């Protein structure tokens, strides 16, 4: 089932896009939890990592490589950052289209709430 992230992919609703290619899209989170908070998503409609299949391997590897590149481009590489994906209700997922949160620009605490 489509979510609002499909509308962002299709440019039906606006977003502050920082990177795009055939496989993925990266845009700034509307409710940032850190000075840099970017969501990296596959263009393919995948609910979460829980629903990945073997055919998604290339997409996932690509997203991880691009996430690291975006982090570097945002100036996060030296001091570090966090990449998080929430899964389901207990994981705190609110949009059911796979996304990786890239968070940085401040010291992040651990464990998360
Ligand atoms: P999660 O709770 O892990 O499913 O993360 C969903 C994130 O999506 C949350 O941090 C807020 C963000 N978000 C929700 N709606 C929009 C939107 O319309 N635009 C943007 N840029 N981000 C959104």
Please write the tens of the pLDDT for every residue from 47-81.
Answer: 999 999 999 999 999 999 999 999 999 999 999 99
Tell how far the Cα of 53 is from the centroid of ligand 1, in angstroms.
24
Scanning the structure block, which residue is given the tokens 């998503």? 41
- Which domain CATH number covers 85? 3.30.428.10
Ligand 1 close to Cβ of residue 93 (< 6 A)? yes
From 73, 97, 99, 101, the catalytic residue: 99
Q: Does a structural domain hold residue 21?
A: yes
- Structural domains of the chain, count: 1
Q: Does a structural domain hold residue 37?
A: yes
pLDDT digits over 73-83, tens only?
Answer: 999 999 999 99
CA distances from 7 to 4, 27, 33, 88, 91 (A): 5, 13, 23, 21, 24
Between residues 65 and 113, which one has the greater pLDDT?
Answer: 65
Task: List the domain range (segments joined by +) for residue 84.
Answer: 4-104
Q: Does a structural domain hold residue 109?
A: no
Tell how far the Cα of 29 is from the centroid of ligand 1, in angstroms.
6
pLDDT digits over 94-112, tens only?
Answer: 999 999 999 999 999 999 9
* pLDDT higher than 90, residue 93: yes
* pLDDT higher than 90, residue 36: yes
62 a catalytic residue: no
């Amino acid at each position: 089932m489509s979510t609002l992230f499909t509308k962002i992919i299709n440019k039906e609703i606006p977003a502050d896009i920082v990177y795009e290619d055939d496989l993925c899209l990266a845009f700034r989170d509307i409710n940032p939890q850190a000075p840099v908070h970017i969501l990296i998503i596959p263009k393919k409609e995948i609910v979460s990592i829980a629903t990945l299949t073997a055919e998604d391997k290339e997409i996932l590897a690509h997203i991880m490589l691009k996430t690291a590149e975006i982090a570097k481009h945002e100036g996060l590489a030296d001091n570090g950052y966090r990449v998080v994906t929430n899964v389901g209700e207990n994981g705190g997922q609110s949009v059911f289209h796979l996304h990786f949160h890239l968070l940085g620009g401040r010291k992040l605490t651990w464990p998360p709430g």
